[in-house]
Amino acid sequence: MTDLICSEFDKLNASLGSLADHVRARDAHIAARLDQLLDALLIVHDADPAARRRLNQLRLHDEYDAAYTIQDPLVTVIIPTWQRVELLLNRALPSVLSQSHANLEVLIIGDGTSESVGRAIARVSDPRVRFENLTYRGPYSTDPRRSWLAAGTPPMNRGLAAALGHWITFLGDDDAFLTDHVERLLEHARRHRFEFVYGRINAIRPDGRREDLGTFPPQLGQIQLQASLLHSGLRFYELELGHALFGIPNDWGFITRLMRTGVRIGMLDEPVVDYWASPAAEDTAAAHESDSWSVSALSAAERREAAARAHIAHLEQTVNALQEANRSSANREEAARDQLARYAEEIASLRADVIRQSAEPRSTEST
């Protein structure tokens, strides 16, 4: 009986292995289809066709050409901020006000920050600086990672809407422009008629390591809006809170929209900004290291793990069922042996009765 059970178990295990291969193949197919659907959903979310039409219309206007032809164009610097006023006033803002290109408008937009931040900024005497505070922060997800992916979106968009410059650039409140950041990017954009241009980044990692970043075309983890300059006619693109739902950082979502809709993009192969990377930025870059910005490598690993767990669960259920069957079989065998023993006892008892009765003398009938 045990050999029979083992044989059946081997057959069932082989069958389950084949089924697992089939499930894995189906899982890969479903994952690929999910990637395609999410990519399509992202294009719908971002309204790419409408943005492309608007971009083409923009290029026909005289105002568009003015950004390339006007002497000493005004450049707007947008700095979103929340509760890092010391870094803002001691690092970010001085790096802007000391730019070699002096015709600047500096928009500091509070993300629902405290009144003390506004009072500190008000003490800055430079007339190029303007502060506006949003009435509330976000709104951002309660999930820490999604919140980080979307952080700064509303104040960035408010800055885009309020900007007066022919060109727009961005800076984190804890980062710093190199002295000729604006001058070099502006010259490069105007000479080549780029609509979005960016330079290399001096990245300072949380552990103190320094790294030189920058590739062309743009790649996630190799570009930041802090290193860029945008034609102000393209402000209609904006950043999107919804990109966090796709696992996409807001700046990378903005940049990929520019790429998908045909914006003329160029790169200046020189450093233009010092960027202090946050631990969250490190984690996000690692999660997207394999490329996909629709369904990340992490989600694919999770899918494979789920399939493996399901297969293990099937095998455990099968083993438990076979063990139960083996126990039931053993119980039946034991019951059968007990029954046979009882039958043997009954037969022996009957045989003894027959022998005893045969041995008794017959009685004599009376006449």
Q: Are 215 and 291 in contact (CB under 8 A)?
A: no
At residue 27, the pLDDT reads: 75
Which residue, 28, 2, 38, is CA-closest to 243? 38
Are 23 and 311 in contact, with CB atoms under 8 Å apart? yes
| Average pLDDT value over all residues in the chain | 83
| DSSP 8-state symbol, 237 | G
Kindly list the averaged pLDDT for each block of 10 residues, start to end, along the chain of length 367.
63 69 75 76 85 95 94 97 94 97 97 93 94 94 92 96 97 96 98 98 91 95 95 95 90 95 97 86 47 38 50 56 62 68 70 70 48
At 75-95, the pLDDT tens digits run: 999 999 998 999 999 999 999
Structure tokens at 119: 């009072």
Query: Alpha-carbon distance 79 to 174, whole Å?
Result: 10
Question: In angstroms, rounded to a whole number, what is the distance separating the alpha carbons of residues 191 and 248?
Answer: 32
Name the percent of the chain lying above pLDDT 90. 58
Q: What is the rounded CA–CA span in Å between residue 350 and residue 354?
A: 6
Q: What kind of fold does domain 47-295 have according to CATH?
A: Spore Coat Polysaccharide Biosynthesis Protein SpsA; Chain A (3.90.550)
- Coil/strand/helix, residue 211: strand
d(CA 132, CA 107): 8
SS3 label, residue 153: helix
| Start-end of CATH 3.90.550.10 domains in the chain | 47-295
- In the chain the beta strands, taken as DSSP E runs, fall at 75-81, 104-110, 129-133, 167-170, 176-177, 196-204, 210-213, 228-231, 265-276
Going by C-beta distance under 8 Å and a sequence separation of 6 or more, which residues neighbour residue 111? Answer: 80, 81, 82, 134, 137, 138, 151, 152, 154, 155
Over residues 149-191, the pLDDT tens digits come to 999 999 999 999 999 999 999 999 999 999 999 999 999 999 9
- What pTM was computed for the model? 0.71
Give the Cα separation of 8 and 145 in Å (integer).
49
- Cα 224 from Cα 203, distance rounded (Å): 10
For 189-199, b where at least 16 C-beta lie within 10 A, e where not — what string? bbeeebbbbbb
What pLDDT is attached to residue 296?
A: 38
